[in-house]
Amino acid sequence: MNPAGTLYVTSIRANIDEKIANDDGFMGGKVDPYVKVRLDKSREKRTKAKDNTGNPVWNNLNMNFRVNANDRQASVHLFDADVGSGDDLLGDANLPLDRGNWINGREVRVQVFDRKNKSKQVGEIFLTVSYKPDPPNANGGIGGGIGYGVGGLGGSIPGMSKSGTLYVTRIRASISDEASSDGFLGGKVDPYVKVRLDKDREQKTPAKQNT
């Protein structure tokens, strides 16, 4: 299952097909693009418009979205801002939520197609995305501790960038009711936790009986 969490979009750039970029109508020059990212009606955000360019870039965006476990994709929409008339929709793209690969950030390319003529490519959009899964429960960390999700057999502690010594001074766990049955007459499970950096650097706690 995909964990719920927060999707961050930190920069967006686009390459718009030259013919389309040059067609802003009478005296309009080039298009004035902006991009909208949408999960649903209540979760959509847009960039500001850039004037007269087929290659807009937006850096330092602060777009973030609540993502639920059952969300599969976002849609991305490319517009041309127009003065005095409704903005022109140039095209649409799909952004499948590949959240497992986005934990450490990723630039994702999507192809933009005309809404009416779906085989007509309008351009491409690159989105720099990252994904932060929620901790297993909101009150998981105590006393300065931080909770991390355990998926199946192991969880991971992301994002260390300096060398040094990692001390783990206290570990506690909550195991779901289904998972804590130790089989026929086994009572509850007898858990222990292993923390591992690699093959030569792993340590485990003693097992606790029936809990």
When the beta carbons of 24 and 71 are compared against Ca ion, the nearer one is: 24
Q: Do the Cβ atoms of 5 and 99 come closer than 8 Å?
A: yes
Tell me how many degrees the CA angle 15-57-23 measures, rounded to the nearest 5: 45
Residues 199, 90: Cα–Cα separation, whole Å: 52
Q: Is 28 in the site for Ca ion (CB under 5 A)?
A: yes
Query: Which residue in 13, 24, 89, 141 binds Ca ion (CB under 5 A)?
Result: 24
Stretch that binds Ca ion, among 50-58, 98-106, 152-160, 185-193 (CB under 5 A): 50-58
Among the residues of 32-93, which ranges form H helices? none
87 near Ca ion (CB under 5 A): no
Q: How many whole angstroms separate alpha carbon 101 and alpha carbon 33? A: 28
- Assess 82 for contact with Ca ion (CB under 5 A): yes
Compute the least distance from the CB of residue 81 to Ca ion, in Å.
5
**CA atoms 83, 89, 90, 93: torsion sign:** positive
Q: Provide φ and ψ at 155, rounded to 5°.
A: -110, 175
Give min distance, CB of 125 to Ca ion, in A. Answer: 18
Among 80, 90, 92, 136, binds Ca ion (CB under 5 A): 80
Residue 122 found at the interface with Ca ion (CB under 5 A): no
Q: Which amino acid is at 170?
A: R
23: contact with Ca ion by CB under 5 A: no
Residues that bind Ca ion (CB under 5 A): 24-25, 28-29, 32, 52, 80, 82, 88
